[in-house]
Structure formats: structure tokens, C-alpha cells
Amino acid sequence: MDTIAAISTALGEGAIGIVRLSGDQAISIGDKLFSGAKPLKEVPSHTIVYGHLAEDGEVIEESMVTVMRAPKTYTREDIIEINCHGGLVSVNRVLQAVLSHGARLAEPGEFTKRAFLNGRIDLSQAEGVMDLIRSKTDRAMNVAMRQVEGRLSNQIKRLRQEVLETVAAIEVNIDYPEYDAETITQDIIKEKMTPVLAEVESLLVTAKQGKVLREGLATAIIGRPNVGKSSLMNSLVHEAKAIVTDIPGTTRDTLEEYVNVRGVPLRLVDTAGIRETEDIVEKIGVERSRQALKDADLILLVLNSAEPLTIEDEALFDAVSGMDVVVIVNKTDQKKRIDMEKVHQLAANRPVVTTSLLFEEGIDQLEEAISGLFFDGGIESHDLTYVSNARHIGLLNQAKTRALEAIEATDMDVPVDLIQIDVTRTWELLGEIIGEDVQDSLIDQLFSQFCLGK
């Protein structure tokens, strides 16, 4: 394969920029530019050497170059990483130099694609890398990290093995009916597929949290004018401990703002809209804003403790019925005029938090309530494998349907060779998650979503 090159650090960020090359010619191309104590081709693998980069006899800059020889590298090809002083200009200059000496500019995700094609990682690990690049909070990062480490793959592989044994058992039964044809009864299929189905379902249960961690929780702040929506927004943004800056190429809608509330990434939706139009209530009757509310995963409904509840407040509760809501009774520093009993009644069983945003009181409890909604019941456990990828979720759902159909068929006395079709399909669908039996086009499409240089 030809030698590819790309800038592998986020542009403009950090003091060091890295140009990474992978392929047969990586080291020889490096030697055309780099001069150190000895040529790169003579330095041991996995070492870093100091020297200068020069082009046409002119020194570009000082540099450290890491040399890693195949096969113990990310791509299983020879890799060199040229560390240069940051700044777009200098990193780009080095990239242009390696391109002019025979490297080809890598396509987005091509390094990871090579790692996959060379058998270094499987597809779900590759997707983990992609999620890692995009992850919004430390917790989301952990989920992605675990996927890179192969937790999901291992679980899927184990599941597949179980299904495969069932398939093999059925095959034997069909091909050699003269040998105890009754050994593999429908009961045995049922017995084997039931735990498989249960495990697929439990993976799907984590999918909601996984999606939230990966994409952020679409959150809408609603309330009458002047109750403190903008103040809430500001305090959430200021409290946020790790607002992950967007990496080039993953830029999101500018109307959204990310905050991290105890590991739950909130995507505050249409915040610009909330800032500018304070009359959200008036628009609540408008179909468009109803739709915006429907798309939200979480509603922060703000009330004013210093005023009695109004018809508008009650209309807001109606508008968000059935949704995840945290009710915030703000301005507790002022004389209370709101009927808290009524508030709790309207809130039904949803959390009600009292705050004085002006005096920064109650924000801890608010954060607690938000994270409690999404990490209840031990989800924080570090042992869980999250399924956070839309493609994986789709495949797991299909696998679940097939496994369920196989199990139901055994109850309806369907012939074993027909049930086998569902069992085999379950096995294939699970295989697609880790990239076994996946068509090339799908692979190309997946890897093209990566950042350049990864």
C-alpha cells in the first residue's frame, strides 16, 4: 500500500503538531527531510530522535521524530511521527514537504481503516476511536475508551460463539438426521437462544445512556418571561467543568451549547433562541415550538417562587407531559408566593428543585437531580458495556427480533430447519457489529467519517 500522511493533532491546538506517516515508504520519506545523529532507517523501532527538518537545503525547523516499525504499530505498517512546533503554518509546511517527497494525503479515518484492514482492530473498536474523537465529556470518553479496548467486541464475540454452537448443532441435525435426530430438539434451541436474547436486550438497555453520553442530552429550558431561564443557562455554563471544545470537522449547530453536569453532557438546544425571545410561553401554542419541545430529551421547567402560579405555568406542564422534566422553583431569596403543594402536584413524580440563581443557591441539588434522572440504578458502574453507536443499536435490534422469532417458532412447533434461518441471521447480524461479513461499501462509509489523521 502507498504511504499516507496527515496532521494528527487538532489544528491550532496545543504547542506541538504531529505529522504522521504510515506505509512502506514512511521511514525513507522521513530520511529525505530529517537529519539527526543517524538516518531514521538505522534507529531502533519505537524510539524518538532529535534533529532538523530541511527542505532544499534550508532548515525548516527543529524536530523530534518517532520511528515505529511494522508490525507493532497502530496500522501494522511502518509509522513515523514528526513532532513540530505548533501553529498551522509550520505543521502544514512539514505536511507539504512529506507530500512532495512521495507520501499521499490520507483520507479521513484512513489510518484507522488500515489498522482495521490489517487486522489490528475490529470494526467496533474502530468506531470507538471515532467516538473518542467526538466525545463530549470525560464520561463519554470512558465509554469510547472501553469500546476501543474491545469490551463490546468481546461480549459480541462470546454471544456469537454461543449462537454458532447452536447453528452447528442444528446443521448436524439436518445433515445427519439418522444420528439421534431428536438430540437437537426445539427445546434445546430455545434453551440456547433465550440467554442470547436476554444479553442482546441488556445491551440495548444501555443504548439510551450510551447515546446520551455520545451526543449529549437535548435539553430545553422553558418558563415564563423573567423567571430566570437565562440565569439558569448562564449558571449551568459557568458551572460546567469540562466543556470540550469542538474538534475541527465536528462543528455542531451554533445554536447549541454543551455543558457537562456531573458527567451528563447536556446539549442546551436553541439557546440563542431562548436568549433572544423571552416569550417562549407565547409561542408554546405554536406548532413549531411544540415540535422543538418534543425533540428534547430533558426539559428544565423554571417557575418563579415569588409569584403565584399562573395559567401559563400550568400550560407549560401540559406541554411537557410524559417527558423527562426537572422543575426549578427559582428566586427563593424573595418572599414566597408560589403554592409548593400545587407545584408538586403538577410535577407529579418528577424532581422539584428550589434555587436562587441570583445567589447561586440550589445548583448542586439541580445537578444532582439531572444526573439522577439518567444515571439511576447503578448505571455509573464502571463495568458496564455501553452501546452508544447508532449502527450497533440498529443491528442489535434486528438481532433481537430474529432471536425472538427463533424462540417463538420453537413454541409453535416450526420445523428446525426453518428456525435455523433466524438463528443464522442472528449470528450474521452480530457479526456485522464487529465487522465480520460487512460489505466494503459500508466500511468505506464508516471510515470516511473519521477525523483526518486518525
Residue ranges that bind ligand GDP, judged by CB under 6 A = 223, 225-231, 278, 330-331, 333-334, 356-358
Choose from ligand GDP, Zn ion, none: what does 185 bind? Cβ within 5-8 Å by kind.
none
Cα–Cα distance measured from residue 259 to residue 267, given in angstroms and rounded to the nearest whole number: 7
What residue has cell string 527531510?
Answer: 33
Q: Is 166 annotated as a binding residue?
A: no
- Segment 423 to 452, residues that bind Zn ion, using CB under 5 A: 451
Q: Which residues pair with 27 in a beta bridge?
A: none
**Least distance (Å) from ligand GDP to the CB of residue 331?**
4
Q: Is 288 annotated as a binding residue?
A: no
Q: Is 190 annotated as a binding residue?
A: no
Q: Is 294 annotated as a binding residue?
A: no
Distant-in-sequence, close-in-space partners of 313: CB < 8 Å, separation ≥ 6? 224, 303, 346
Segment contacting Zn ion by CB under 5 A, of 95-103, 220-228, 242-250, 285-293: 242-250
Q: Does 51 bind Zn ion (CB under 5 A)?
A: no
Segment contacting Zn ion by CB under 5 A, of 249-257, 272-280, 395-403, 430-438: 249-257
Distant-in-sequence, close-in-space partners of 415: CB < 8 Å, separation ≥ 6? none
Which residue, 299 or 393, has its beta carbon nearer to ligand GDP?
299
Write the DSSP symbol of residue 44. Answer: P
CB neighbourhood size of 176 (10 A) = 10
437: left (phi over 0), alpha (psi -120 to 50) or beta: left
Segment contacting Zn ion by CB under 5 A, of 8-16, 230-238, 250-258, 389-397: 250-258
293 is written with which cell numbers?
Answer: 419541545
Q: Is 226 annotated as a binding residue?
A: yes
Q: Does 144 bind Zn ion (CB under 5 A)?
A: no
Q: Is 195 annotated as a binding residue?
A: no
Q: Is 219 annotated as a binding residue?
A: no
243: left (phi over 0), alpha (psi -120 to 50) or beta: beta
Helix (H) or strand (E) holding 85: strand 79-85
**Least distance (Å) from ligand GDP to the CB of residue 337?**
13
Which residue, 398 or 449, has its beta carbon nearer to Zn ion?
449
113 is written with which cell numbers?
Answer: 481503516
Q: Does 252 bind Zn ion (CB under 5 A)?
A: no
Which residue, 234 or 250, has its beta carbon nearer to ligand GDP?
234
26 is written with which cell numbers?
Answer: 514512511
264: left (phi over 0), alpha (psi -120 to 50) or beta: beta
Q: Which of 249, 273, 351, 372 binds Zn ion (CB under 5 A)?
A: 249
Choose from ligand GDP, Zn ion, none: what does 250 bind? Cβ within 5-8 Å by kind.
Zn ion
Strand 16-22 with 4-7, pairing: antiparallel
Residue stretches of the annotated binding site for K(+) = 226, 245, 247, 250
